[in-house]
Amino acid sequence: MMPGGRVPRQERHGGLYDGRGGEGGEGGPAGRVRRGSTSRPVGRAGPEGTAGRSGHPPHRPASALRYLDRMHRHSRWEPYRRAGRAAAATAAAIGVLTGCSDLPGEEEVRYAGDYGSHEPLAVVGYPSAGTLRTAQEVVWRTADGDPAELAALAAPGTARGVPAATARNWISAFGEGARGKVTAEFYDEGSKRQSVVLYFHATGQIKQINVRTGMGGEDRDWYVYMDEPERAAATAVPSWIPKTPGALGSRSVP
C-alpha cells in the first residue's frame, strides 16, 4: 500500500512485485508471471517458435502428437503395402488369363511367362479351362520347337516312341505358323474331351487335334492325342473342316 492509500499497479492486477521495478522478479515484461500464479516465469518464444528463456519446448496438443505418430507409421509401412498390392494384382491377372485360380504357384509363374512370350491365341467356340490350356500349350510348344515338351502332353497309353515322332512332325510342319497368329475353334462342350481345330494364319495351314482329361481316379490332368508318327497323317486335313473358323457354329463334328 502506497502513501495516500493507493495500491501499486502490480497489486491491482494480481501480479507480484519484487521491488526492482519489474513484475515477476525479472525486471520487465519478459519475466512476467501469469496473474494469480507463483510458477516460474514464462519465456518468450524464439524466432523459430522454439523455447524462450524458460528452456522448455513449445507445447503440442495430444491430438497433434497422435496425428504425427500415425503419419510416421503410415509412411514407414507404405512401401510394403504397395508391394503387397502389386503382388495381389499380378496374381489376379494370372488367374484371369488361366481361367482358374487353384494352380500351384510354380505353374502360375510358368504359364504367365508362356503367355507373355507368345502370340495370343484367338478363340472360337466353347472351350473349358482344361481344353483351352492344353490347346495353348500345344501351340506354344510347337512354336518353341521343343519335341520333348510337346511329347510330354501326349495321352497316357500311347505306344512308346510315337509321341516323340508325332511331336517332331508337328514342329516341322506347323512350327512357322505357330509362331504367328493362331485361331483355335473348340467344338461342342469340353468337360471330358474336345475336338480343336487350329488355324495358322501366317501360313494358311489347318490342323485338328483332340484333347481329353484323365481317365478317372485322381488323374485330373489334360492330354492331347499324339498318334501321328507319319508326316502324311500329321498334315492331313479332314474334309468336313471349314476353311474359316466359326463357319459351322462350333456345335458338332460331322
Number of helices followed by number of strands (H, E) in the chain:
7, 5
99 contacts 136 by C-beta, under 8 angstroms: no
- The dihedral of CA 144, 146, 147, 150: what is its sign? negative
Q: Is 91 in a helix, a strand, or coil?
A: helix
Which residue is associated with the grid cell 474336345? 194
Is the entire prediction scored with pTM above 0.75? no
Give 99-152 pLDDT, tens digit per residue: 555 555 887 888 888 888 999 999 999 999 999 999 999 999 999 999 999 999
What per-residue confidence (pLDDT) applies to 86? 55
- Percent of the chain at pLDDT above 90? 46
Give 30-66 pLDDT, tens digit per residue: 445 455 545 454 444 444 444 445 555 555 566 666 6
* Angle of CA points 185, 189, 190, to nearest 5°: 85
Q: Is 208 in a helix, a strand, or coil?
A: strand
In the sheet with 121-125, reading across from the earlier edge strand, the strands are 121-125, 182-187, 193-200, 205-213, 222-224
For residue 213, give Cα distances in angstroms to 49, 98, 131, 201: 76, 17, 8, 28
**DSSP codes of every residue in 15-68:** --B-SSSSBTTTTSGGGPPPTT--SPPPPPP-TTS---TT-PPPP--HHHHHHH
